[in-house]
Structure 1
């Protein structure tokens, strides 16, 4: 019997090629989208799952006077780890991480620059379960001047030789040697911590660090006792801060703890989160998953619609089978078997689509996703099982409906499908197009917001600006580089700073001593630059003067932005901003306010402009050099910069990035969201159109005699096309009425996450509505016109 069912199922699929193709294409697209998104979701949820201990990261909420808004940061203070363990039995262990990028190591004549070096406590390898290939994880970092290299770093430095016990050297401010005590496996890509070497923190320890309350320059991880009530533990933190921090400083901090497995996906609102590799908001992951499921559901809806619509074709088959003794459950099993067969055929095409599209998805997401069809039998069986379930769910209603036919009625040659069946199909079509229209509107608004952020005037120029990291470049070498670069007409300007625009700049405590009011202690964002910074970036001064470029006679020169100027005068709102020029002001060392700059967006447009002060001070050197080049000779200018670098600092590799590209990275997640939502919206439109095409074909076929009569009585092709199309167009209009308010509400909420955002414009909804109606009309009219031009003699011929 099963063989007979399979044979009949295959015959029905082959006989109705168009409808079968629509079902298979729709299901395969929905399955492929769902599989790709599930691969992405699975990868995202796998982050840090290989660690076994109850690890939490200590984070802060900073709310200093002078800040526009409080901020969450991923940093913490050096003394917190040991004092928390001493004060609270809930803390079983801790480790701290201080990172350094572009770290130079030498072995004999060989020099290697590693991307990420971690200075960690001796407990690091006892807390985290990173695989250690060589060495003892309990003692590898115990002694001063110890280092554990990753496999990749060890290969770069020593080739195939055994590195254990060998001594390597770091040339920085001081020359420091390290003995290799272990080799770690390269960190898995699904670890939020990515490092190339682990150095013993006790090597660089200084006595002042133990009392460095208020200095946030490292990350702290703690092992909490099992079953610790984290919320209750966090409630103890104000008392802890009050106990250890001097004065009222504790009032400006809150501490909270983030589970290790939540760090990657739950840190979207946390700034200065430098060690969070491929950070991605879990809300976006859930959004993609929801839309992918909608795509799959819509594909299933197509199957239900087409199966019930074509019920008349199977009616006689059902009547004959029932008349010779077939039971209803047997017929239902037969129809469900056909559905499952269609689903499994669609799965084969879905696998092919996934393999074709994965390279593009990997490029877009910056992940390395793969479909483990042959490498992981469990995953393959799970996908096949889910596909079978999808087939069963899609076929339950059609099977129940088809198997319910009365044999006496259907064998007379007629069947009444009833209003309820048509109503259900209409509801499902409306649901399809509601989803499609909603995503069309969402895609347009997401793209417009991204374009707005990328092209909004930030208050400074970023075109043709090349940024070069100045790691390990001394102030004297930078001065020489600047002089040599300015000798060429290819370079319009050179400047440097301790931070890069578009990054999350650090905050510092400042002091303001007005001549006619009490002094104030507050906090503002800090930007340390050289004297030509405002000139190169064309940052406008509202009043006052630019940095002189010379060492001032009395204290430092400071330039503040409008936001800070207004904050300094908030108790004297009637005083003009110009009254601040020449007032005593300082960070670390007092000086005077020399100028007030117009507000500019030094961070992402996700955030409001914070209070900011700038000072021209080299200190220990700058971290980034900015070179403004001639637009018409980019290639020559880059070659000149590279050659100048090699001749000035030959021991340090040359790296560069255009500032525009850096800001594109800042908005990378937004760009990914816009593209992925757009792709899924397109898939929903395609699947919905396939469904409409199938239903239009059925409708035209069902009304073929009516069309023949109308043509005989003089109806034109236009009249018949409109007759067959108007019902579907009504459904699309209803879908617009439902989708518009939903889209407005959801997108309004989404835009609230941006400090600077577009307005939701009415014409976007109108365009989406018109576009959806046109798509539906052209989809349906193809079949309508085909039916309208059919010779009425054929359609009116008696059976």
Structure 2
């Protein structure tokens, strides 16, 4: 019997190639889109799960408000790890990371450096904490001694044969020499250490032994013993403030108490977050690697479900609409004794065949689209075709989809009453039109919602890119690793400034785009109370910094070589004045120090106030900032004149090679670095756009099929209308307007939902757009235009048929 069902189903599908093709193609697009998004979500949810005992590993966070706005840190003070290990019996292990950004590395005795983008100091407990094994070396001794390091396999291969790596000597940043004590496999792309390639022994890092609780620079991880109460442990962390932080603070602020500290509005709150939760649930200062946001995963999950539901709705719509053609078949089957259950099985097998064909096409489409999707999402996803679990999940999902998609059409057709359908009573006796209309409304409501979301995301990104930042990011070339050439840095700067296309150049490690960051607490002269502390960014710059980046002075003046006292001058921004409660002119001459507690504190005199400029993401407000003169040229920013930039980089590189022939030349343009800050939003916008288009295509396929069926069903009516004098335009309008009403209802449903959802998304930005009415108008017009184009083809095609031929139709 089953074989007979298959044979009849195959014949039925072959008899209606147009509708079968629409169903298969529509479902294939939906399944392919859902599959790609599911692989992306699986990859995101799998972050850091590969580490041993990942469910017992937590990072210790700090929420701090002190002399400025509250800030949430992913880093701790140096003594935190040892304190947790010693004082808390539930802590099995503690490990710290102190990231150092990029480093120049060369073999001892050679001159040519190789740049490693992400390096870090790490405690020797790293191996036991995360279950990392060495390809070469001994985890019991690696990283135990000062000036030792381990490399990833890829990093090691840049210098020597991996099997010969142990005991090799490497020079870091043209300074200290380190001994290689191990090589590990490259860390997975879905781990928080994915970009790190060099791990240096914390034992040799002097700052790691300091006992200051006020400086936060170390990512601190703890592994709790099996069965430990993580919530209870987190609650007990408040004792750290009472037992350690306040006694340390009292050495600097004599007489300060915990009650006084908290009454002043300041606070330090410690918390923990699970290792596997960090990637999607943490967006703090000093994250060790860029993270995603769980909100984006929710959005993509909804899109995946929407695509599959849209495709399933298409199938149901087309199947029930086409059921009129099979009404007599059902009537004859029932008359000859077929039961309803047998008919349901027959139609479910037909839907299963369509879903299976769609699955095959979806896998082909997914394989073809993966390179583009990986480019859009920044992933390295592949179809796990050799994984049996993948096939089990896929087949289970296919069975569910076949059941959901085919259940309504099969139940709908199996309930036809033989007497009525054999008399040809028409659609009124069969029903289903209201449900089909509701499904069309649902499809276009989703499509319009995705169009609105896409427009809002792109509008916010354009707002960010075009907003007045307070500094000039255009035509600014940034040359990295200038620190590697030591005293020759100023010579490099002078020679580059002499090039004809250069306006000015500056040496500094601190830039408004992603770069070094440094917080310090300052105090006004004569004020030593902790509640009067001013916490702000402290950037070391040179005399040309402000002119190169186009920063504006609102009071006072810039640094000037004619004033030798400017070495103790300081320029603050407007946000710092808000904390001080002063107007720009009032701040001039104010003396500030960050050496409270020392016998002879060094005071800086405010010589200028700079207009606020965005040096952090626009998700946050502009914080307090100070600039002082310093010789710390980690990078060189070069302001270029307008013109042809085709030869600019080559000429700057030529100067670099003359001044530093053995050092690699690394550069980027500041506007590109600015854009990477919003890479997650850019990717989200691109993904929205792609899947909005897919949803519209799926909706249009269904609309196209329904329009074709509607025109075919009304063939005689069209013939009569034309005989009675109706024009082609009038007939086409009559056939089109019914569908436009459904599309209009879908638009009215989706617009308020789109407005609410995207306003919630925009709340994450301190600087954001207001959603204009034009967004909703454009989304509605796009949906209407697409539906008119889709339906009008079938309508005009039906309207131009010879009425004689129409009236002869059975």
Shorter-chain TM range is over 0.9
Does the CA contact (< 8 Å) of 1:6 and 1:337 recur in 2?
yes
Pairing 1:719–2:734 present: no
User: Paired residue for 1:573?
Assistant: none
Task: Give aligned pairs, total.
Answer: 782
Distance in structure 1 (CA, Å) of the matches to 2:113 and 2:489: 21
Does the CA contact (< 8 Å) of 1:583 and 1:592 recur in 2?
yes
User: Paired residue for 1:272?
Assistant: 286
User: Paired residue for 1:134?
Assistant: 136
User: Paired residue for 1:35?
Assistant: 35
* Cα deviation digits, residues 222-265 of structure 1 (max 9, x gap): 10123333333222222211211123579532111111111112
Distance in structure 2 (CA, Å) of the matches to 1:553 and 1:769: 64
Q: Structure 1 residues 519, 309: CA separation in 2 closer, same or farther (over 3 Å shift)?
A: closer
Distance in structure 2 (CA, Å) of the matches to 1:19 and 1:686: 16
Compute the displacement of 1:550 (Å). 5.7
Distance in structure 2 (CA, Å) of the matches to 1:121 and 1:704: 80
User: Paired residue for 2:156?
Assistant: 154
Pairing 1:639–2:658 present: no
* Cα deviation digits, residues 559-611 of structure 1 (max 9, x gap): 111121232126xxxxx420211111234531111111111112222221111
User: Paired residue for 2:695?
Assistant: 684
**What value does the CA root-mean-square deviation take over the aligned residues?**
2.2
Distance in structure 1 (CA, Å) of the matches to 2:563 and 2:237: 44
User: Which of 721, 746, 771 is 1:710 aligned to?
Assistant: 721
Unaligned runs of 5+ in 1: 571-575
* Cα deviation digits, residues 178-220 of structure 1 (max 9, x gap): 2x332211111111113223222112235x8331211112211
Pairing 1:610–2:633 present: no
Pairing 1:422–2:433 present: yes
Tell me the secondary structure at the aligned position of residue 384 of structure 2.
Answer: coil
TM-score, length basis structure 1: 0.94
Compute the displacement of 1:168 (Å). 0.7
* Cα deviation digits, residues 708-735 of structure 1 (max 9, x gap): 2222111222222222222211111111
User: Paired residue for 2:243?
Assistant: 243
User: Paired residue for 1:585?
Assistant: 592
User: Which of 255, 271, 276 is 2:270 aligned to?
Assistant: 255
Does the CA contact (< 8 Å) of 2:40 and 2:381 recur in 1?
yes
Does the CA contact (< 8 Å) of 1:97 and 1:118 recur in 2?
yes
Q: Structure 1 residues 81, 428: CA separation in 2 closer, same or farther (over 3 Å shift)?
A: same
User: Paired residue for 2:2?
Assistant: 2
Does the CA contact (< 8 Å) of 1:34 and 1:296 recur in 2?
yes
Pairing 1:91-240 to 2, within 5 Å after superposition: 91-100=91-100, 101-109=102-110, 111-159=113-161, 161-164=163-166, 166-172=167-173, 174-178=175-179, 180-194=180-194, 195-205=196-206, 209-240=209-240
* Cα deviation digits, residues 713-759 of structure 1 (max 9, x gap): 11222222222222211111111211111111111111111111111
Distance in structure 2 (CA, Å) of the matches to 1:761 and 1:177: 58
Pairing 1:567–2:574 present: no
User: Paired residue for 2:380?
Assistant: 368
Tell me the secondary structure at the aligned position of residue 182 of structure 2.
Answer: strand
Compute the displacement of 1:514 (Å). 7.7
Does the CA contact (< 8 Å) of 1:555 and 1:590 recur in 2?
no
Distance in structure 2 (CA, Å) of the matches to 1:501 and 1:695: 56
User: Which of 449, 454, 457 is 2:460 aligned to?
Assistant: 449
Pairing 1:397-408 to 2, within 5 Å after superposition: 397-408=408-419
Pairing 1:650–2:661 present: yes
User: Paired residue for 1:595?
Assistant: 608
Q: Structure 1 residues 528, 676: CA separation in 2 closer, same or farther (over 3 Å shift)?
A: same
Distance in structure 2 (CA, Å) of the matches to 1:97 and 1:372: 34
Deviating beyond 4 angstroms after TM superposition, the runs of 4 or more aligned structure 1 residues are 171-174, 248-251, 415-420
Distance in structure 2 (CA, Å) of the matches to 1:638 and 1:793: 74
Q: Structure 1 residues 213, 3: CA separation in 2 closer, same or farther (over 3 Å shift)?
A: same
Distance in structure 1 (CA, Å) of the matches to 2:544 and 2:317: 68
User: Paired residue for 2:498?
Assistant: 487
Does the CA contact (< 8 Å) of 1:103 and 1:113 recur in 2?
yes
Tell me the secondary structure at the aligned position of residue 94 of structure 1.
Answer: strand
Pairing 1:359-398 to 2, within 5 Å after superposition: 359-373=371-385, 375-398=386-409
Pairing 1:506–2:518 present: yes
Does the CA contact (< 8 Å) of 2:483 and 2:633 recur in 1?
no
Does the CA contact (< 8 Å) of 1:340 and 1:391 recur in 2?
yes
Distance in structure 2 (CA, Å) of the matches to 1:422 and 1:718: 25
Unaligned runs of 5+ in 2: 251-255, 596-601
Compute the displacement of 1:296 (Å). 0.9
Q: Structure 1 residues 301, 177: CA separation in 2 closer, same or farther (over 3 Å shift)?
A: closer
Pairing 1:783-794 to 2, within 5 Å after superposition: 783-794=794-805
Compute the displacement of 1:770 (Å). 2.2
Pairing 1:342–2:342 present: no
User: Paired residue for 1:285?
Assistant: 297
Q: Structure 1 residues 790, 107: CA separation in 2 closer, same or farther (over 3 Å shift)?
A: same
Compute the displacement of 1:38 (Å). 0.8
User: Paired residue for 1:755?
Assistant: 766
User: Paired residue for 1:627?
Assistant: 638
Does the CA contact (< 8 Å) of 1:315 and 1:415 recur in 2?
no
Compute the displacement of 1:503 (Å). 2.4
Distance in structure 2 (CA, Å) of the matches to 1:599 and 1:554: 21
Compute the displacement of 1:98 (Å). 1.6
Compute the displacement of 1:171 (Å). 4.6
User: Paired residue for 1:299?
Assistant: 311
TM-score, length basis structure 2: 0.93
Compute the displacement of 1:537 (Å). 1.1
Tell me the secondary structure at the aligned position of residue 457 of structure 2.
Answer: helix
User: Paired residue for 1:63?
Assistant: 65
Does the CA contact (< 8 Å) of 1:24 and 1:345 recur in 2?
yes
Compute the displacement of 1:416 (Å). 4.3
Q: Structure 1 residues 641, 740: CA separation in 2 closer, same or farther (over 3 Å shift)?
A: same
